Amino acid sequence: MEKNISKPIVEKIDYNSNSLLDFENELNSSKKSEEESEILFRYPTIYIVNNQIKKKPSQFSVYVGETNDIKRRTNEHLQIDSRDSDFWKKIKNFTNSEMFLIGHEHFNKSLTLDIENRLMHYMSGIEAVTDISNKRANQQGDYYTSDELNPIFELLWDELRNKGKNSKGENLFPPINVIKDSAIFKSSPFQKLTFEQFKAKDQVMAKIEEALNRNKNGQLILVTGEAGTGKTVLLSNLFYELFKSSAADSENVILRGKTESLLVNHDEQLKVYKQIAKKLGMTDKKNPYMVEKPTTFIKNHSSKNKIDVILVDEAHLLWTQGKQSYQGKNQLNDLLKQAKVVVAVFDPHQILRTAEYRSAENIQKMQLDAAKNNNLVTLVNQMRIHSNENTVKWIRNLIDNSRISPIPNDDSFDLRIFDSPQRMYDSIKAKSQNKQNGISRLLATFDWPYNQKKKNKLDSKGYWNVKVEDFSLPWNLQLPVHKGIKDLPWAEQDQTIDEVGSTFTIQGFDLNYAGVIIGPSVKYRNGHLIFDKTASMNKNATQKRDGKIDNSKEFLKNELNVLLTRGVNGLYIYAVDDELRKKLLKVQGDKIK
């Protein structure tokens, strides 16, 4: 039986001590408002203080908090916190600051802490919010009213949207589905961890503390898992936990004052982590390489002065040979020399090119060594694809076993085969235009030429295109980018609906609906998939390692793995190879939705 949950009380008032007292007196003067006054001034409450940035009035600096006494807490912020905090100094001195005061008859300490955490999660995903001053992550476990969290929060967000408009019609609180589409929201350290992730986090934190307490050097903690098992969220949460624990007033004696950096060899994911660090005030002049690429970090950091903890996302992208500005032989080994502890998130099935390659034997040895020291953490629960188990099995059977089985019935996931790339593109574009569906994009295997540094002389606009008969769209990162969105990941930029994404722009991210063009490098012969390196344009995947070892089949298979595991709510497929397309259409049968 569902509970009848009442709407939260949300009041917007100017943020100063006098306004709060005036508001309380106004409520107390009306008998109808006695209950509201009691809930807001006697019960636990949540509050959001926001300050419009003068130079950029459409952007906001915010603070999300919870308290048992809003009047006392307001005075503490304005009289005490304003001495040392830049945020509260501005709030005290500016006249345009306001507060959303939130109450509910069912609020208790655990519930308000959980809603505070979720509000910080959502606020971090709002483009107009430049920084969040309260940074504590405090998700709660089960408690008496934990089943009321979701319905109360949904009602709360509707109330905030109703009262969040300013005089110009701008709203600090966008629709929930818009926020959920942002890469920052999906990678936020405020994301509530699953039980599996929570256990993994505790295990990693315990191993970090043990290594630092015993003054060990070059310790490798390996976190593995297939695409979509929540590795990035876990790493983001770890990064933030270490940042909080390193503060001078931290209760964690072992981690207090310790240094940490997060490294990733992926331009799009790097943007996201830098935005998170900036919004949460994690950037430190004493540690300018807190979020960087491995090569930059290695070049600018001396192994004589070791950093305490390095976190590496997408560690399968680390290089194992010299390239460009990196003159070493193995980036992971170099990082281990420069740190006491390296936590590496790793998926061997996402290695896409020779420069990232480690042989199966080396991978196995690395995992065995980590396991011997209890330094191996494995995530297994699929979190990205919102489908039933049979759909996940179908996708995995196609990728892992090169077999095509009948497409299962699944009302929760839209798995569809197309006989035309244009029709698939039209469907993806229609999904993208409906904001309720969220971000949807077209992707393809790297089977058409592309050189980011050169213009295509054969195209009137100089674009490198994905072409299938009469269908043609430019590869990613070529269309003009509107000012102000260059720092957003590729899929979040509006113009990219008219581009085709590659593994190198979409790896590590998800889409609500992914339309995948499987190019001629993937064929269907004699009852199973084959990978044809002669049809691939990805030289980094098809060239032999040391001129001897051919790993192209493995890399092309991994490329397919990355592309087919991006869709959260739907996967659309068009295959260029006639036999593959006919087989896929046959197993789809009459299941077209």
pLDDT truncated to tens, each residue of the chain (593 aa)? Answer: 456 788 999 999 988 878 888 888 888 777 657 788 888 988 999 999 988 765 555 788 899 999 999 999 999 998 898 888 888 888 888 777 889 999 999 999 999 999 999 999 999 888 888 888 876 666 777 777 888 889 999 999 999 998 887 666 677 898 888 888 888 888 888 888 888 999 999 999 999 999 999 988 889 999 998 888 889 999 999 999 998 888 877 888 899 888 889 998 888 888 889 888 888 888 766 666 689 998 888 888 876 778 899 999 988 788 777 676 777 778 888 899 999 999 999 887 777 666 666 666 677 788 888 888 889 999 988 778 889 999 999 999 999 999 999 999 999 999 999 999 999 999 999 998 876 667 899 999 999 999 988 999 888 899 999 999 999 999 999 999 887 788 788 988 989 999 999 998 998 888 999 999 999 999 999 999 999 999 999 887 777 766 677 888 988 998 999 999 999 999 999 999 999 999 999 999 865 54
Q: Where are the alpha helices (DSSP H) in 171-301?
A: 176-180, 183-187, 195-213, 231-245, 267-279, 294-300
Q: Minimal CA–CA distance to 101: which of 159, 147, 59, 57?
A: 159
Q: Where are the alpha helices (DSSP H) in 384-447?
A: 389-400, 421-433
Whole-number CA gyration radius for the chain: 26
Read off the amino acid at residue 46.
I
pTM of the model: 0.81
The sign of the dihedral angle between the CA atoms of 288, 290, 295, 299 is positive
Question: How far apart are alpha carbons 72 and 527 in whole angstroms?
Answer: 72
Residue 200 Cα distances to 45, 225, 238, 378, angstroms: 32, 12, 10, 8
Length of the chain: 593
Question: How far apart are alpha carbons 494 and 477 in whole angstroms?
Answer: 12
Q: Minimal CA–CA distance to 475: which of 441, 509, 507, 526?
A: 441
Question: How far apart are alpha carbons 539 and 533 in whole angstroms?
Answer: 9
CA torsion angle for 315, 317, 321, 323 (degrees, to 10)? -130
**Could you identify the residue written with the tokens 């065995």?**
368
